[in-house]
Structure 1
Amino acid sequence: MELGDAIASTFRAVGQNLVPFLVISAIVVLPTVIVQTILEVLIYNVTQQSLASTRPEEALSMLGLLSLGYIGVLGLIMLMYAFGQGAIMYLTVESLVGRKASVGDAVRAVLGRIVPLVIASFLVAFVTGIGAMFCFAPGIIAWIWLSAALPACLVERLGPIQSMQRSIELTEGHRMTIFLIFLVLFGGFFGVTLCVAMPARLAGGMTPGAIPNPLDPLQLAAKLVMFVVQLGSTMVLSAAIAVVYAKLRGLRDGVDAQALARVFA
């Protein structure tokens, strides 16, 4: 598997399916952004009440409960990520064989596998998180080894654990190339995020230790810009995982994109 070919195939798939990719990415990103913004507004209001109150204990207790809401946000992220990864996998495979699929086709292909996809997504995140707790490098290594787990779960209809084992098998001998592919893509989006987020924070008047008002026009504008960046990263990174999986299947199993597409027929 060649670095340049995989990246070129990724952007070609995104370009050929821009509208459905955008729709799927919006379905993935928008609910999380809305829920997170609501939590930020509630936390901001409770914090202001706590600062103004002579008895801040009740407000602080409520603040602790609201902070637990971020656990729900993480769960929502995993659910939507699993859905989006599966849907974009379907659209990418169809693109690789020269066919155009609709958003409805992608949704139907994923819904029947949504439970194992969500479980596999949680397990991959858990293992990667455990690795990252000890040192950043083990977390990266774990993610590379398990990067093909969700596509394997969807296409090969494996259970979550079997999908992770299959990913380890598929990525063997190609892990450095996979690392470089995602290093380039993550590096690009990290650079864009820095260029966008830092000016937005400065424009929003943020000072160290200050809690910004989430409904401030400048903060809303910054969120809108970051939403666009998230759409782009969701499309490209999900398509890249699908392309990597398809190429690994071709190299290791001799299975071409036509055979992968027949799974969804």
Structure 2
Amino acid sequence: MAESGFGGARFEIGAVISRAFETIGSNILLFCGLALVLAGIPQFLFEFWRVTNFTLAYNGMDPSYYLSPSYLGMSGATWLVSIVTGAILQASLTRATVMHLSGETPRFGQCLAVGISMILPMIAIGLLAGIGVGIAMLFLIVPGIILWLVWAVVTPAYVQEKVGIFEAFGRSAALTSGARWRIFLTMLVVLVLLWVLSIPVGFLTMAMMATGNAFLIALVTGALSALSSMILVATQASIYVELRQLKEGVAPSDLEAIFA
């Protein structure tokens, strides 16, 4: 993962992360609304069902329950729903992030419409990337991480540039070339922040487990899922904006002209 100076410019990790969080903060209702509807609520419903029907009912001590038709069926249904809602969320929040960084004001309905219009290609991109990275992970993990970095901006490339699915993978490879080490560090910082946040949430969940309040347990889990989703997508889109500016000289304000 050799690093490139991009002709004297430098991929600034702090600036990328700062832009991602500033975007969320400036559009907090939009981001929280989309993340809660498309990530938080599905996770809340599954967690509420799981805690009520397994963790509390069986005290979590019967591993055979995980192989029961009801658990497998619910898990499968949740997985299918999460694929669809996750695809919409990624496209919607990517669009919202790029719009904000371009100086535009993203609107809930406008961004959601973009996400819904891209359901099928976004699902295809997610499956292709997941399969590719998963297979690469079998080879001592490192190749999987490298491929994950190569395709780090495939979603914003597809959403913003209106290219084909396979072309989006090629665009991501071209844009991330020479910057993958710093992209890795950027994502590592964000993942560590989310991990640190999950620690007190884990203790809180265990404390609530003792009270047997399935609603609160599911609520906390769903909220954490929504928060993680919007931070990761905003960071990914911010990386894309940074790379377009450094490698191609496209200022954030010019990205909207390209989308239009």
Shared topology, TM-score over 0.5? Answer: yes
Q: Partner residue of 1:117?
A: 122
Equivalenced residue count is 245
TM-score (norm 2): 0.83
Q: Partner residue of 1:257?
A: 252
Root mean square deviation, CA, Å: 2.7
Of the candidates 126, 131, 136, which is equivalent to residue 126 of structure 1?
131
Distance 1:110 1:187, change over 3 A: same
Distance 1:202 1:132, change over 3 A: farther
Deviation at 1:171, TM superposition (A): 0.5
Would the aligned equivalents of 1:89 and 1:239 in 2 still touch at CA under 8 Å? yes
Greater relative contact order, per chain length (Cα 8 Å cut-off, separation 6+): 2
5+ residue gaps, structure 2, are 1-10
Q: Deviations over 1:66-120 (max 9, x none)?
A: 3143233223222222211111111111211222121011122233322111110
Would the aligned equivalents of 2:208 and 2:216 in 1 still touch at CA under 8 Å? no
Q: Would you identify which runs of 4 or more consecutive aligned residues in structure 1 move more than 4 Å?
A: 59-62
Distance 1:126 1:42, change over 3 A: farther
The answer to whether structure 1 residue 22 and structure 2 residue 32 are counterparts is yes
Distance 1:85 1:60, change over 3 A: closer
Q: 1:60, 1:181 → 2: CA distance? A: 39
Q: 1:104, 1:35 → 2: CA distance? A: 24
Q: 2:89, 2:18 → 1: CA distance? A: 21
5+ residue gaps, structure 1, are 52-58, 207-215
TM-score (norm 1): 0.81
Distance 1:128 1:77, change over 3 A: farther
Would the aligned equivalents of 1:43 and 1:66 in 2 still touch at CA under 8 Å? no
Of the candidates 13, 19, 22, which is equivalent to residue 3 of structure 1?
13
Deviation at 1:226, TM superposition (A): 2.5
Q: Partner residue of 1:162?
A: 167
Of the candidates 212, 229, 234, which is equivalent to residue 229 of structure 2?
234
Q: Deviations over 1:172-229 (max 9, x none)?
A: 10001111111011101111112211342254149xxxxxxxxx31x43232223222
Q: Partner residue of 1:194?
A: 199
Q: 1:196, 1:60 → 2: CA distance? A: 25
